């Protein structure tokens, strides 16, 4: 039965990819897009992932035992088949371990902490999505940029002036350029040339109440003018934002326990199932771009672990059903992954793989399923190359 399922999966992938513009033969280690799919080194890339916003902050800790948690986390993630990590490449202001202390002034110590994060991800074969600023005031965010604008004599009416004020936009452009052109002190590779970085995120959960359309939040063309290697996502699920050419894929965040706090678990699950399908269909048929479910979770402060496990299973089932048919759902990234000894960072959504056995098993199973799609395609491609190299006519996988 499993062999039949694998055969059906291969046929589906071949039919889908034959209808595309063709997969690039280059194997440079950068994740790319081909229609509504990600590709890596010429093969489909469906991957399971996680959020760990705290990586740079902990990597900047003066204690070696604390910094070791960054390495430990990536090792544990790799052991469960996780292949994508999303984290912050910002910490703006004068708070503890800030990256950008004031416009254009950076802490080299904190930048070296980010260098360590990139290096450890690369060492463990995990791709990074690096977010460049926060919509919220945690770790600075657009509020800090607005305050910097005021300190420069700008007339700032609200934090949303981040998106329109030319001086503030100049601060943000400079941050983009500074991060993208940073040379890693450990690997010696500029960030813009680093294959371990999968994509940049313009902002974490951008909101512009003065422009609900979302058009004001774009800075995509400027980033792409500096870095043509990496993918780019905007950090929100506005169709208007994701349709512009410079945005390579869509992202979705989903927290039914926050959005429907008065509803029971069944109602939240029903809502989530519909939410997933709508966004997969929109990505497939309207955007024609891959979609990552870049944040999802359920707090154990308000629900038992069984409900969280059901939520993970619902998300993962929708993603795999799409992926095995060559669809737009490319993966999911739960919020959030910890290693042991980090409970002071906890928000109720954290997963510690060594302590949360049932959830860890669901995560590993999804990783294996998505990784299997890629392995099957690579196996088929290698067979085709071998057949071609030996002068054997190869018309299809049934030969």
Q: Which residues are catalytic?
A: 205, 295
d(CA 131, CA 108): 19
d(CA 177, CA 187): 19
- Residue 370 · residue 321 · CB < 8 Å: no
Cα 36 to chain centroid distance, Å, stands at 16
The strand pairing partners of 386, in sequence order, are: none
d(CA 286, CA 288): 6
As given in the structure block, the two tokens for residue 162 are 């981040």
d(CA 220, CA 122): 25
d(CA 383, CA 394): 9
- Smallest CA-to-CA distance from 86 within 297, 261, 319, 384 is with 297
Counting every residue written for the chain, the total comes to: 399
3-state secondary structure of 376: helix
3-state secondary structure of 348: coil
- Smallest CA-to-CA distance from 104 within 168, 167, 56, 175 is with 175
Please give the backbone phi and psi of residue 393, each rounded to the nearest 5 degrees, phi first: -70, 130
Distances (CA, A) of 319 to 25, 36, 194, 207, 245: 26, 13, 28, 26, 24
3-state secondary structure of 294: strand
Burial of 326 (0-12, 13-18, 19+ CB in 10 A): buried
3-state secondary structure of 116: helix
d(CA 54, CA 212): 30
Write out the E strands in 103-159: 105-106, 127-131
């Amino acid at each position: 039965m499993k062999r039949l399922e694998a055969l059906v999966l291969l046929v589906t992938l071949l039919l889908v990819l034959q209808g595309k513009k063709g997969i690039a033969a280059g194997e440079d280690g950068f994740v790319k897009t081909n229609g509504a799919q990600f590709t890596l080194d010429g093969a489909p890339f469906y991957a399971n992932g996680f959020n760990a916003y705290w990586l740079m902050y902990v990597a900047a800790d003066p204690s070696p035992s604390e910094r070791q948690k960054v390495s430990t986390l990536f090792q544990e993630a790799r052991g469960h088949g996780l292949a994508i990590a999303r984290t912050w490449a910002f910490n703006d202001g004068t708070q503890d371990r800030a990256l950008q202390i004031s416009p254009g002034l950076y802490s080299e110590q904190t930048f070296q902490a980010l260098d360590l994060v990139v290096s450890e991800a690369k060492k463990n074969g995990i791709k990074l999505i690096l977010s460049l600023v926060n919509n919220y005031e945690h770790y600075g965010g657009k509020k800090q940029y607005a305050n910097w604008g005021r300190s420069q004599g700008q007339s700032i009416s609200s934090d949303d002036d981040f998106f329109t004020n030319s001086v503030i936009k100049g601060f943000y452009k400079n941050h983009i350029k500074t991060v993208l052109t940073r040379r890693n002190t450990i690997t010696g590779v500029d960030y813009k040339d680093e294959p371990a970085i999968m994509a940049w995120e313009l902002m974490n959960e951008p909101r512009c109440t003065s422009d609900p359309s979302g058009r004001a939040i774009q800075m995509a063309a400027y980033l792409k003018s500096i870095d043509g290697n990496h993918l780019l996502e905007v950090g929100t699920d506005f169709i208007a934002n994701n349709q512009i050419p410079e945005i390579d894929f869509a992202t979705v965040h989903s927290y039914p326990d926050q959005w429907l706090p008065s509803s029971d678990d069944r109602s939240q699950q029903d809502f989530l199932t519909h939410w997933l399908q709508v966004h997969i269909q929109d990505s497939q048929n309207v955007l024609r771009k891959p979609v990552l479910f870049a944040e999802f979770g359920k707090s154990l402060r308000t629900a038992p672990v069984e409900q969280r496990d059901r939520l993970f299973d619902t998300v993962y089932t929708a993603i795999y059903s799409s992926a095995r048919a060559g669809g737009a759902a490319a993966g999911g990234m739960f919020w959030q992954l910890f290693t042991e000894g980090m409970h002071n960072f906890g928000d109720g959504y954290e997963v510690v793989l060594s302590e949360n056995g049932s959830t860890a098993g669901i995560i590993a199973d999804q990783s294996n399923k998505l990784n299997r799609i890629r392995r099957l395609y690579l196996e088929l491609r290698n067979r085709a190359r071998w057949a071609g190299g030996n002068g054997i006519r190869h018309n299809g996988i049934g030969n």
